[in-house]
């Protein structure tokens, strides 16, 4: 009988993943990526689809602490049911609230997450992450699904601070490995993942760790599977407010990381920004789509009013 009742089925898979055999990892990856299909499939069907034996799928369930595959499938079905009921739960929580009350509730919730992040973040790990990023030959950044905006933000500003920044953007694990095939001990990989954790991000971190690269995890908990392959863990609170993940605290943590990096090498940052500003001006990058009313008069290539009105 499954004893780890404090974990849901996906968290349970994440916790056991690092010790799984190659075949069991294959099953775990399929279930995480296609849980909506797996919940209706027998052990035989999953085995046939993944080209492994039915007994291997059954042993996978045993390995997680279940009495058999039907017991595992029942727990998976319950998890899927709860996930699909999230919208209903949101309605129960906010159904009788006014729009302003919803605004206040969500913003207060985000403030609490930032406060909690401030309490649990490891300052030594934060400093180590800064040093590793500045010393690395190449910095690789990976964030999948809802974490992709966080990866975009970090990648954008790291490119202003230093060169050789690679954001891994892909829809498959094989393409991800192709983009980081040259990673080695002189490099750093920053993996960003929050529940539901991304198996592709975890694989990228495992690959980087196997190549002796420094691995930095930006995740939500000491129990996160992202910590399995990282030497530096930056934790930020990210709970579900409704059907939407709150990324406020993780973004604040990343923002602090960017500011601290800028303070470590202000002259380099100033030089890069100066060169970038010169390039923008020379090639009129922002001539037509950004207006700075403070420093200069707006420059437009079309009249704001009709000639007859003037």
As to burial, measured by CB atoms within 10 angstroms (0-12 exposed, 13-18 middle, 19+ buried), residue 12 is: buried
The answer on 239 and 170 residing in a single domain is yes
Read off the CATH number of the domain in which 80 is found. 1.10.10.10
Domain-located, residue 142:
yes
pLDDT digits (tens, 9 = 90+) for 203-240: 889 999 999 999 999 988 887 888 888 889 999 887 65
Domain tally, the chain:
2
**Gap between the Cα atoms of 287 and 285, Å rounded:** 6
The answer on 261 and 129 residing in a single domain is yes
The answer on 169 and 77 residing in a single domain is no
Taking alpha carbons only, the member of 249, 251, 188 closest to residue 259 is 251
The answer on 147 and 63 residing in a single domain is no
Domain-located, residue 214:
yes
Domain-located, residue 284:
no
The answer on 74 and 15 residing in a single domain is yes
Using the 3D structure, point to which of 68, 84, 100 is the last residue of a domain: 84
* pLDDT given at position 78: 84
Tokens of 251: 């973004």
Residues 6+ apart with CB under 8 A from 216: 129, 132, 133, 188, 189, 190, 191, 230, 231, 232, 233, 234
The answer on 123 and 263 residing in a single domain is yes
27 in Cβ contact with 51 (< 8 Å) = no
The answer on 257 and 149 residing in a single domain is yes
Compute CA distances 4 → 8, 65, 123, 202, 256, whole Å: 8, 8, 31, 22, 36
* pLDDT given at position 4: 46
pTM of the model: 0.62
The answer on 262 and 160 residing in a single domain is yes
Ranges under pLDDT 70 in the chain: 1-7, 83-102, 171-174, 239-245, 279-310
Residues 6+ apart with CB under 8 A from 253: 117, 121, 218, 234, 236
CB atoms within 10 A of CB 193: 29
Domain-located, residue 123:
yes
Domain-located, residue 305:
no
The answer on 156 and 34 residing in a single domain is no
The answer on 48 and 123 residing in a single domain is no
Using the 3D structure, point to which of 267, 283, 301 is the last residue of a domain: 267
**Gap between the Cα atoms of 154 and 167, Å rounded:** 9
Using the 3D structure, point to which of 84, 106, 138 is the last residue of a domain: 84
The answer on 258 and 161 residing in a single domain is yes
Taking alpha carbons only, the member of 222, 219, 167, 223 closest to residue 193 is 219
pLDDT digits (tens, 9 = 90+) for 228-287: 888 899 998 876 544 556 788 899 899 899 988 888 877 777 777 777 777 666 666 555
Compute CA distances 226 → 18, 67, 282, whole Å: 10, 28, 43
The answer on 205 and 77 residing in a single domain is no
Residue 28, domain extent: 9-84
**Gap between the Cα atoms of 310 and 294, Å rounded:** 25
Domain-located, residue 193:
yes
Compute CA distances 110 → 87, 113, 147, 241, 247, whole Å: 20, 5, 17, 9, 9
* pLDDT given at position 171: 65
């Amino acid at each position: 009988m499954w004893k780890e009742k404090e974990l849901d089925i996906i968290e349970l898979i994440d916790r056991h993943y690092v010790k799984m055999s190659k075949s069991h990892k294959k099953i775990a990856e399929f279930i995480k990526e296609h849980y909506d299909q797996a919940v209706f499939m027998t052990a035989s069907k999953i085995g046939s689809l993944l080209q492994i034996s039915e007994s291997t799928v059954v042993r996978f369930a045993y390995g997680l602490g279940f009495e058999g595959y039907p017991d595992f499938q029942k727990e998976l079905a319950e998890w899927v049911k709860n996930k699909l009921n999230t919208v209903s739960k949101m309605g129960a929580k906010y159904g009788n609230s006014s729009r302003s009350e919803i605004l206040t509730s969500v913003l207060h919730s985000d403030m609490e997450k930032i406060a909690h992040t401030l309490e649990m973040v490891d300052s030594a790990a934060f400093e180590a992450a800064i040093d590793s990023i500045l010393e690395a030959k190449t910095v690789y950044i990976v964030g999948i699904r809802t974490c992709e905006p966080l990866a975009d933000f970090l990648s954008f500003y790291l490119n202003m601070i230093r060169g050789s920044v690679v954001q891994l953007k892909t829809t498959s694990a094989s393409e991800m490995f192709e983009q980081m095939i040259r990673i080695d001990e002189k490099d750093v990989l920053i993996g960003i993942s929050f529940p539901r954790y991304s198996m592709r991000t975890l694989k990228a971190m495992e690959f980087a760790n196997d190549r002796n690269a420094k691995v930095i995890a930006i995740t939500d908990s000491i129990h996160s599977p992202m910590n399995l392959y990282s030497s530096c863990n930056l934790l930020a609170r990210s709970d579900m407010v409704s059907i939407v993940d709150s990324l406020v605290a993780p973004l604040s943590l990343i923002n602090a990381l960017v500011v601290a990096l800028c303070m470590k090498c202000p002259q380099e940052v100033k030089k890069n920004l100066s060169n970038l500003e010169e390039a923008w001006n020379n090639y009129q990058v922002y001539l037509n789509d950004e207006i700075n009313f403070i420093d200069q008069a707006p420059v437009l290539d079309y009249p704001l009013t009709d000639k007859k009105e003037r």
